[in-house]
Structure 1
Amino acid sequence: MKITFFTHSTYLLEIHGIFLLVDPFFSENPMFKKHNINCNKWINFFKKIDYILLTHAHYDHVCDTEFFAKKFESLVISNYEISNFFDNKGLKTYGINYGSFISFPFGKLKYVWASHSSVFNDGTYGGNPGGFLLHTDQGNVYLSGDTSLTYEMKLIPSFGNLKISVLPIGGVYTMDVEEAIIASDFLQCNKILGVHYNTFETIQIDKKIAKNKFFETKKELFLLNMGETICI
């Protein structure tokens, strides 16, 4: 399995040639303007997107869903309310909620609890926020979505060992670095991909300090550059 990070909480999973894009946030992302980065370069990076996973309805997680889903005829997987929202826009969707694992060609997917909020920019209710527990023959991954630290995370390893967990670390709206370390203990997972940091002024972190804090607890924090890929 390959994970390619792009920006904020946007990353791409590749599993046996199947591509899953998580929470696409390009066109309205302030990082591109701030660093004079050509947004279209990264939008045009994608050659294939089979599925789009959406954790909740905030614009910094869904703003480019319609563009990518129509361009690649992707299947949008999210909670029932978000799926209905995009179904009404003519997209192919698969609505789920907190419940059982569901089988897809890439593996099994379970929508899990996240402690956050969820509403579209136009005020439309975005259902319950969540994350995804992904089980594949290449390993299991926890995609937390935007969340605070929660005891619900202790349930995740009971379904199977995790190879890596994707956790927000910017604080204010989500966990910060210290809380993400506690979350990794709950998850019994020593490899963490950090997301949801440095995009906005309110969620700035020192990347070197963050990595050292994880290292001191014998864990590894991956903070990837735009377009950088790791294999798990």
Structure 2
Amino acid sequence: MLKNMDDKLRLTWHGHACFTIDTGKKVVVDPFIEGNPVAKVKKDDIKADAVVISHGHFDHVGDAVYIARKNKAPIVTMVELAWILGEENKDVQVIGINLSGSTEVNGIRFTAVPAYHSTGYNGKYGGAASGFVIEHNGFTLYHAGDTGVFKDMELIGELYRPQISMLPIGGFYTMSPREAAYAVKMLRSKVTIPMHYNTFDAIKQDPQKFKVEAEKNGTRVVIMGVEETREFSRAELT
């Protein structure tokens, strides 16, 4: 065990694309809990200092508003989706940024980066889909959201140097393991965590196949179980 909480990052996977990132402050990304067939917690169990939504599809917006309201935490998302959610939920602070834009909330820096994916919220245009770079306490993480592989992932790797990348591997709606393993080469993260797979039949995948291919490209793949928490020290991510 490390002596100082600030020296480590705790990452919990709640299934699908939902993570709690704990670097002394808790960030919850894409909190799809209710209706998620692999979820093992309830939305009331989720604690957050900030909530991030990558795009407007139901399995990413999920319980974001409920969790934000319960924890008195702001939501950070793309600007058009922020307008919609803010208008519908005037008691919740919703901060909308755009691609390459950044904001700081509770000492945590969020930057929206591109994702190749469609989007929309309850039949309304919800702005572009995005990934997010999240920086706090010397840790930098990249949550890709839903995306295909694209060459500008090289820019994300060069500009932000994420120590941990969370990449979808489910295929059908996003990258499959093959494309995600190629993305690893461009991002150059020390650790890569697969997500957005095995929630539904359409996105069934074997993460071990991704691990084999991705680790050829210079990363360490950590395959997490639902509700598993992993700790990472600053030293091992440097």
Normalised by the length of structure 2, the TM-score is 0.87
Alpha-carbon distance, 1:110 to partner: 0.9
Instruction: Indicate conservation of the 8 Å contact 1:184/1:190, yes or no.
Output: no
CA distance in 1, matches of 2:134, 2:143: 8
Q: Secondary structure at the match of 1:111?
A: strand
Alignment of 1:6-21 (within 5 A): 6-16=14-24, 18-21=25-28
Bigger CA drift: 23-32 or 144-153? 23-32
**Structure 1 stretches of 4+ moved >4 Å:** none
> 2:12 and 2:71 mapped to 1: Cα distance?
18
RMSD of equivalent CA atoms: 1.7
Q: 1:160 to 1:123 in 2, by over 3 A?
A: closer
User: How much does 1:141 deviate?
Assistant: 1.0
| AA partner of residue 64 (structure 2) | T
How far the C-alpha of 1:216 sits from its partner, in A, is 4.2
**CA deviations over 1:127-179 (Å, ceiling 9, x no partner):** 10001112333321111110000011110122242211010011111111111
Any gaps of 5 or more consecutive residues in structure 1? 33-38
Change (3 A) 1:123 1:160: closer
User: Within 1, Cα distance between the matches of 2:136 and 2:44?
Assistant: 28
- Comparing 171-180 with 211-220, which one deviates more in the overlay? 211-220
Work out whether 1:175 is the aligned partner of 2:175: yes
Q: How does 1:29-68 map to 2 (within 5 A)?
A: 29-32=36-39, 41-46=41-46, 48-68=47-67
Q: Percent identity?
A: 28
Give the distance between the partners of 1:99 and 1:208, measured in 2 at CA. 33
Task: Report the Cα distance in structure 2 between the residues aligned to 1:217 and 1:161, rounded to whole angstroms.
Answer: 16
SS in 2 for 1:7: coil
CA distance in 1, matches of 2:75, 2:44: 19
Whole-Å separation in 2 of the counterparts to 1:62 and 1:213 = 31
CA distance in 1, matches of 2:135, 2:185: 20
**Aligned residue number for residue 118 of structure 1:** 119
Give the Cα separation in 1 of the matches to 2:80 and 2:218. 40
Change (3 A) 1:20 1:105: same
SS at match of 1:81: helix
For normalisation by structure 1, the TM-score amounts to: 0.89
**Deviations, residues 13-44 of structure 1 (Å, cap 9, x unaligned):** 1122x111100111121335xxxxxx5x4334
Counterpart for residue 34 of structure 2: 27
Distance in 1, matches of 2:181 and 2:107, equals 29
Secondary structure in structure 2 of the residue aligned to 1:179: helix
2:209 counterpart of 1:202: no
1:3 is aligned to 2:11 = yes
Q: Secondary structure at the match of 2:123?
A: coil
Change (3 A) 1:20 1:204: same
Structure 2 segments unaligned to the other structure (5+ residues):
1-8, 233-238
